[in-house]
Amino acid sequence: MDASVLLDLCLSVGITFYTGVPDSQLKGLCDELYFRYGAEGPDHIVAHNEGGAMAMCAGHYLATGHPALCYMQNSGLGNVVNPVTSLMDPEVYNLPCLMVIGWRGEPGVHDEPQHVKQGAITTGLLDLLGIPYRVISKETTPDEFRQDFCFLIQETEKGKCAAFVVRKGALECLHHPDYRNAYRLTRERAAEIVTGAAGEQDIFVSTTGKLSREIFEMREARGEGHEKDFLTVGSMGHASMIALEIANCLDKRRVWCLDGDGAMMMHLGAVQLIGQQQPKNFVHVVINNGAHETVGGMPVCDRKMNMPEIAKAAGYRHVVSAEDEEELKEVLSHLPEDGPVMIEIKCANGARADLGRPTTTPAQNRDQFMKFLQE
């Protein structure tokens, strides 16, 4: 079904504000929203995380008396449990919202390991939270969708949150926005340069998404093992905290966190904590392409944010930025010994069409990595 049908129905009942965090399962909806409204307001705002998006929906209702639409991958339900239960719930402020949730890891549908558990508990979690929902798929007819929409809107009129749970391929878009930026250095090449400049005993923690996939394939192409890399295949925004505590525990070895701009923004307080802890052996590499590229390419909320200045204010000892291969190599050739260090790398959007996924399991990654850390 074309996502324009959903947005037109929303407009017909007074839903005029949209916010959330992009998901590949919802690419049709995200592309339609970006085509109509852009990504920075006032009608559509890409949020830093799903809990913040839900809080904006609360603010919109308080200001206008109309519910908003909040979209997310089902992994984002973890970030909305707090505002759903302590803010939106009928036993608290009784604030309505129409949620659109991409169903990754749906039982019986092959998906990546980080989605399996969340996929299995998605509908049960909505039941537990008291959120009525309807599941839509490619087979859902327009008439069935309109009936489901009417049911959910009736629930929001009671002050409830109500949700569409979206199966793969259920929402499409006729428009294909161009999310590219002006930078030329690819994320994959940047990762090759960074890992190539590291020492033999250096440790890497990489964020979820295509960056970790590229690092895995890079090691394979080089004929190297994977024991130096912890590939954080889920838990968006938390790779830096994993890396921080490893650095605290193993202070004689350099720890690199390979992060993304959207991931860093999702839990920005981590930057402050790294600055407070002052780990001398910590290098925070932030791939800044201004996009949620792994899940479709929609811009992140920090496109105009000055990451180096934020890191300086948080207490990082050294902060540098590079936007091409020569600058990056120069930065790495003069890397300070006393961290924390932040290296912002401005990269192009996009990835190889044939980019694969790790062929080892998360448990195998864990075991190889822990053995390397004990050496």
Domain limit, last residue, from 131, 166, 201: 166
pLDDT at residue 291, as a whole number: 77
Residue 181 located in a structural domain: no
Domain containing residue 55: 3-166
Q: Which two tokens stand for residue 68?
A: 């908003």
Q: Say whether both 240 and 105 belong to one domain.
A: no
pLDDT at residue 303, as a whole number: 63
Rg (CA), the chain: 21
**Distance in angstroms (rounded) separating the CA atoms of residues 258 and 250:** 18
Q: Say whether both 219 and 148 belong to one domain.
A: no
- In this predicted model, what pLDDT tens digit does every residue of 353-365 receive, in sequence order? 888 899 999 999 9
Domain limit, last residue, from 166, 198, 227: 166
Residue 26 located in a structural domain: yes
Q: Say whether both 158 and 305 belong to one domain.
A: no
**Distance in angstroms (rounded) separating the CA atoms of residues 294 and 324:** 21
Residue 182 located in a structural domain: no
Residue 174 located in a structural domain: no
Q: Say whether both 208 and 356 belong to one domain.
A: yes
- Which residues, given as ranges, of the chain have pLDDT below 70? 302-303
For 140-173, letters b (16+ CB in 10 Å) and e give beeeebeebbeebbebbeebbbbbbbbbeebbeb
CA distances from 359 to 190, 214, 226 (A): 22, 12, 11
Q: Which CATH number does the domain housing residue 105 bear?
A: 3.40.50.970
Number of domains making up the chain: 2
